[in-house]
Amino acid sequence: ACGGGGGGGTTPAPVPAIQRLTAAPVAVGDGALITATFSGGAGRIEPDIGAVRSGVAVSTPPLAGPRRYTLVVEAAGHPSARGELEVVPAYRDRYVTVGTPQPLQYHAAVSAPDGSVIVIGGSRGMSALSEAVDRFDPATRTFTRIGAMATGRAQHSATRLGDMRALVLGGLTGLSSGGFAELVDLGTGAVEAAGRPVRPRIRHASVALDDGRVLVVGGLQSDSVELWDPATRSFRLVAARMHNVREFPTATRLADGRVLIVGGDHIGPSQRLAEIFDPRTERFEAVASPLDAERRAMHEAHALPDGRVLVLGGELSTGASLEPLDSVLLFDPATQTLSLHGRLDMPRSLVRSLLLPDDQVRLFGGQTGAAGAARSAGAYAPDRAARALAAMPAGRAWHTLSALADGRILILGGDDDAGGAVGNALLYE
C-alpha cells in the first residue's frame, strides 16, 4: 500500500487595491507630500514621481497651481487599481521684499521660457531713460544686466514672440529719431533692429497673432492699427480704421485667432466700447454691449480657458474727472456680446493683474480714488465673490506683474503715492 498525500491548492495572488491617497496641505511654490496606502502589487504615481512604496510619503516638484496625480497599482494577472488626487496649493498671502539695482517705473517685463523675467527699459532714477535689458533670476532673486537697446524707452510695449524674442516698440525714447522697434532675445539679451512703425505709438496695445505677426492697436490720438511681419521685420498700416481713437485700450487674442479690442480713452463725439479685428480679412466687427457709452480705459483683460474674456476695472472719463471702476465685464464669443458680470473688491484704475492656473485673477495696486498708488490687492473669479488679499507694504501704480514658474508673482517697480519710482520688488506667495 502506499500512503495518501494531502495537498491543498495554491494561495491566490492578492488583488491590487488602494486604501488611501492623500496629500498634506501645501503652499504655492513648494512641493506637496503625497502618501499612498495600497496592497497587492507595485505602485507608481504619475506624473512627476514614479515608483512609490505603500505608506511612505513622497514629494512632488514645486507646485504653481492645481495638479492632478494618478496612483497606479499593478500585479501580473490582475487588472490594475487606479486612484486620482488633485493637489491644490494655497497662497500664503504674503510678500517678500527683493532688492533692485535702481528704482524703476514705466518699464516692460517679459517672462522668458527658462522661467526668468526680462526687464526692459523704463525710468530708473537717472537723468535719461534707460536702455537696459536685465534678467531677474527667481532661483537667486537677483538682477543681472544682459543687454542694451539702441535707445532708452519708457511706457513702451514688449510683446513675447514664439521664438525666444520680444518685440519692443513705441513709448517715449531717448533719441529724437527713436520711432523704431527692436527685437530683444530673451535668452541672451542681444538686441536687433525690427523696423519702424508707420505711426508713432504711445498709450497703445500690442498682441502676438497665431501666425507670428504682431498687431499694434491705437495709441495717442490714434484710431489705426498696424501689423508687424517677422519675415520682413516691417510694419504695415491696416486700411480699415477702428470706430474711435483708443488710448490705453486692451487687445486680447481669442481662441479663433481674432482680437478683441476693448476701451481706450478719446474725446470724439461717438463711442464704441469694443470691437473685434480679424487678421484674415483685416476688418473690424462690432461687439454688442449695453455699456457702449462707457469710455473705459486703464483696465485689464484676460482670456479664460473656455474662450470668454474678462475685462476688469479701469476708469471712466466723465469729461471733468476720471472715475475708477469696480465693474467686471464678460465677453462671450458665442454671442459676440460684452456685458456686466460682477464687481471687484473695490474700484481700481491702472491696476495690474494676472490670471493664474487656479482660474482666479489676482489684482495688485493701481489707483482707487482714495490713493494715487494703492497698497491694496484683491482676487476675482467668474464664479466666486471678489475678495481682498493682504495689502502690499507700500502703494504702487504703473508697475508690472510676472508669473514665475513656481506660482509666485513678481511685482516690479511703478509709481509710489508721491509719483516717484518705487525702489524695490516684491514676491507675492
Per-residue pLDDT tens for 380-423? 999 888 999 999 999 999 999 999 999 999 999 999 999 999 99
The DSSP line for 64-107 is: SS-EEEEEEEE-TTSPPEEEEEEE--B----EEEEEEEEEEBS-
pLDDT at position 10: 66
**C-alpha–C-alpha distance, residues 333 and 370, integer Å:** 36
Q: 6-61, pLDDT tens digit by residue?
A: 445 566 778 999 999 999 999 999 999 999 999 999 999 999 999 999 999 999 99
Q: 180-228, pLDDT tens digit by residue?
A: 999 999 999 999 999 999 999 999 999 999 999 999 999 999 999 999 9
pLDDT at position 318: 72
Q: Tell me the C-alpha to C-alpha distance, in Å, between residue 44 and each of 17, 34, 63, 88, 99.
A: 13, 12, 19, 20, 42
pLDDT at position 4: 43
pLDDT at position 123: 96
pLDDT at position 8: 52
Q: What is the domain partition of the chain in residue ranges?
A: 17-87
Grid coordinates given for 289: 454691449
Mean pLDDT of 131-157: 97
**C-alpha–C-alpha distance, residues 12 and 37, integer Å:** 21
Residue with cell 502703494: 395
Q: How confident is the model at residue 1 (pLDDT cuts 50, 70, 90)?
A: very low
Starting at the edge strand found earlier in the chain, the sheet holding 165-169 runs 157-160, 165-169, 182-185, 191-193
Residue of 370 and 301 predicted with greater confidence:
301
Asked if 237 contacts 244 with a C-beta cutoff of 8 angstroms, the reply is no
Asked if 309 contacts 330 with a C-beta cutoff of 8 angstroms, the reply is yes
Over the chain, what is the mean pLDDT? 94
Q: Which residues pair with 123 in a beta bridge?
A: 105
**C-alpha–C-alpha distance, residues 111 and 302, integer Å:** 16
**Cα angle value 218/219/221 (rounded, 5°):** 100
pLDDT at position 218: 97
pLDDT at position 359: 87
Asked if 237 contacts 224 with a C-beta cutoff of 8 angstroms, the reply is yes
Mean pLDDT of 334-346: 95
**C-alpha–C-alpha distance, residues 283 and 113, integer Å:** 33
Contacts of 213 (CB under 8 A, 6+ apart): 227, 228, 229, 230, 279
Q: How confident is the model at residue 138 (pLDDT cuts 50, 70, 90)?
A: very high
Grid coordinates given for 111: 517672462
Contacts of 133 (CB under 8 A, 6+ apart): 118, 119, 120, 121, 145, 146, 147, 148, 149, 184, 189, 191
pLDDT at position 158: 98
Mean pLDDT of 136-152: 97
CA neighbor of 359 nearest in space, from 422, 416, 310, 315: 310
Q: Which residues pair with 118 in a beta bridge?
A: 110, 135
pTM > 0.75: yes or no: yes
**Cα angle value 161/112/123 (rounded, 5°):** 90
Query: Length of the chain, please?
Result: 429
pLDDT at position 268: 86
Asked if 89 contacts 32 with a C-beta cutoff of 8 angstroms, the reply is yes
Burial of 239 (0-12, 13-18, 19+ CB in 10 A): exposed
Asked if 48 contacts 71 with a C-beta cutoff of 8 angstroms, the reply is no
Number of neighbours of residue 147 by Cβ within 10 angstroms: 18
pLDDT at position 9: 59
**C-alpha–C-alpha distance, residues 177 and 92, integer Å:** 47
pLDDT at position 251: 98
CA neighbor of 107 nearest in space, from 178, 168, 162: 168
**C-alpha–C-alpha distance, residues 199 and 65, integer Å:** 41
Grid coordinates given for 42: 507595485
% of the chain surpassing 70 pLDDT: 97
Our measurement of the distance from residue 353's CA atom to the centroid of its chain's CA atoms, rounded to an integer in Å, reads: 7
CA neighbor of 205 nearest in space, from 241, 135, 253: 253
Residue of 317 and 367 predicted with greater confidence:
367
Q: Given a cut of 80, is residue 238 above it in pLDDT?
A: yes
**CATH number at 17-87:** 2.60.40
Q: Given a cut of 50, is residue 2 above it in pLDDT?
A: no
Q: Half-sphere exposure (CA, 13 Å, Cβ side) for 108?
A: 28
